[in-house]
Amino acid sequence: MLFEIALNGLLLGGLYTLMGTGFSLQWGISGIINLSYGGMMVLGAYISYQFFTLLSVQPIISAIPAAIIMFLLGMAVYRFLLRPTIKKGSFFVTLIMTFAVELVLENFMLLIWASDYRIISSPYSNLAVELFETHLPFVKALIFAVSFVAVYLVHLFMSKTKPGKAIQASALNPDGARFIGINVERMYMINFAIGCAIAAVAGSLASNTNAFSVVLAGGLLGKVFVIAVLGGLGNIWGAALGGITLGLVEALGALTVGPEYNEALGLVVMVIVLVLRPRGLIGRRFWDV
């Protein structure tokens, strides 16, 4: 029984890790708390839904075009809305700006897809795997695996490629990065857009197992807040720790106090961690590794 809960929590944690990674990169590196992250995830899910209904492409595959679309959207949002705001005002003005983006996104989605719940039923949604006498849905394992691969790719990009290293340098020391010829503003923009692309991938994957609708955007945002803050910002390993912790807390919480307290439980854990360790559980940035 306990093993089953732990396994479920762990599998959920994989998706949570991916969700948290994008948000955490945007916050920790570009310095933007993206309140439109939940809306972006739902938009990613809708793009996959559209691919599925029109071309019957599986969400696992349509996550790629969704990511590309959201990457471009993220670039545009950063270039035309966020960059001028950052130059002018304090952080909370930027916060309000991302909220305005969320309002426009939600309105757009409501107009096109209405607020009904949608679900994508895959041919493999009824398959199951037997593991140590536990019944394990194949989809959940698949989502976990794809999330893991996606997070690993982000890690490879950040640590091995030239733009990735430039992004790290911009976050570590903006003036120094400028001095050696890195276009810091551009790196922040690319990083923000990568975060948006990750949101789209996470949304597409989640649409495999969960019915979704615009009204879920707020709840999703709450979850990514908890994940990012739990582990520490701008740090992929932090997001992984936060994601898996939240997955386990929710799985255990559903058993002990009931699933309706899931959201409150996560937020309470977040506030406690914030107060005790404001830099998160890992407490170091990814470039300190």
Partner 1 sequence: MILSKNENKWTYLGIGIVLLVLVLMPWIISGYWVRLLTSVFMFAVLAKAIDLMIGYTGYVPFGNVVFFGLGAYTTGILMSRGWLFIPGMLISILMSVFVCIVFGLPVLRLRGHYFAVATIGLNGAIMAIALNATGLTGGAMGIIFPPLAMNPAALNRLFYFIMMGLMILAAVINIIIVRSRFGFAIRSIKSNEEAARSLGINTTFYKTSSWIISAVITSVAGSVYGWWMSYISTVDVFNIMISVTSILMVLLGGAGTILGPIIGAFIFQLLSEVIWSQFLTFHLGILGVITMLVILFVPRGLVVGFTDWIGGRLKRGKKEAV
Q: Residue 108 or residue 157: which is nearer to partner 1 going by CB?
A: 108
For the purposes of burial, counting CB atoms within 10 Å of the CB of 181, is it exposed (0-12), middle (13-18) or buried (19 or more)?
exposed
* Least distance between partner 1 and beta carbon 134 (Å): 30
* Least distance between partner 1 and beta carbon 248 (Å): 19
DSSP-based three-state secondary structure for 80: helix
Contact 246, 17 (CB under 8 A): no
* Least distance between partner 1 and beta carbon 226 (Å): 8
* Least distance between partner 1 and beta carbon 229 (Å): 6
Residue with tokens 């990568």: 194
| CB hemisphere CA count around 245 (13 angstroms) | 25
Token pair listed for 3: 């093993």
Residues binding partner 1 (CB under 8 A): 27, 33, 81, 84-85, 88-89, 91-93, 95-97, 99-104, 106-108, 110-111, 218, 222, 225-226, 229, 258, 260-261, 263-264, 267-268, 270-271, 274-275, 278
Q: Residue 137 or residue 174: which is nearer to partner 1 going by CB?
A: 174
Q: Residue 193 or residue 217: which is nearer to partner 1 going by CB?
A: 217
Token pair listed for 37: 């992250």
* Least distance between partner 1 and beta carbon 46 (Å): 16
* Least distance between partner 1 and beta carbon 148 (Å): 27
DSSP-based three-state secondary structure for 212: strand
Q: Residue 164 or residue 238: which is nearer to partner 1 going by CB?
A: 238
- Within 8 A by CB and 6+ apart from 40, the residues are 34, 70, 73, 74, 105, 196, 199, 200, 203
Long-range contact set of residues 265-273: C-beta below 8 Å, sequence gap at least 24: 266/222, 266/223, 266/226, 267/222, 267/226, 269/226, 269/230, 269/245, 270/225, 270/226, 270/229, 270/230, 273/229, 273/230
Q: Residue 260 or residue 288: which is nearer to partner 1 going by CB?
A: 260
* Least distance between partner 1 and beta carbon 218 (Å): 7
How many residues in the chain?
A: 289
